[in-house]
Amino acid sequence: MISLLPIGTVVTLKESDQEYMIVGMGQELEGKEGVVYDYTAVPWPQGYLEADKCVLFNRDKIDKTLFTGYETELQQKISEEITKAIDEYRTEQNS
């Protein structure tokens, strides 16, 4: 299991040149009950502009990691717990 990247990490996504900074993990899109995304991100370097500029995506959509956010033991533990919860939830939804 590969844990989620920390908040503050800057990535590019497949099929996009825009850079994004991760600002959240384990997000459910309103109106799409049962669909949980690994990450919420905002355009970088612009940051949060408005809600419709935020993007939700999963680990498999990341093309490159350009900068890794601040990491601590607590952050690593939380990332592992969220990753495990998301993976278990998806397994339940697919069975």
pLDDT of residue 47: 93
Range 8-12 contact pairs with CB under 8 angstroms and sequence separation of 24 or more: 8/67, 8/69, 8/70, 9/65, 9/67, 9/68, 9/69, 10/44, 10/65, 10/66, 10/67, 11/41, 11/62, 11/63, 11/64, 11/65, 11/66, 12/62, 12/63, 12/64, 12/66
pLDDT of residue 22: 98
Which pTM was predicted? 0.88
Each residue's pLDDT expressed in tens, for the chain with a length of 95 residues: 678 999 999 999 999 999 999 999 998 877 777 789 999 999 999 999 998 889 999 999 999 999 999 999 999 999 999 999 998 888 887 77
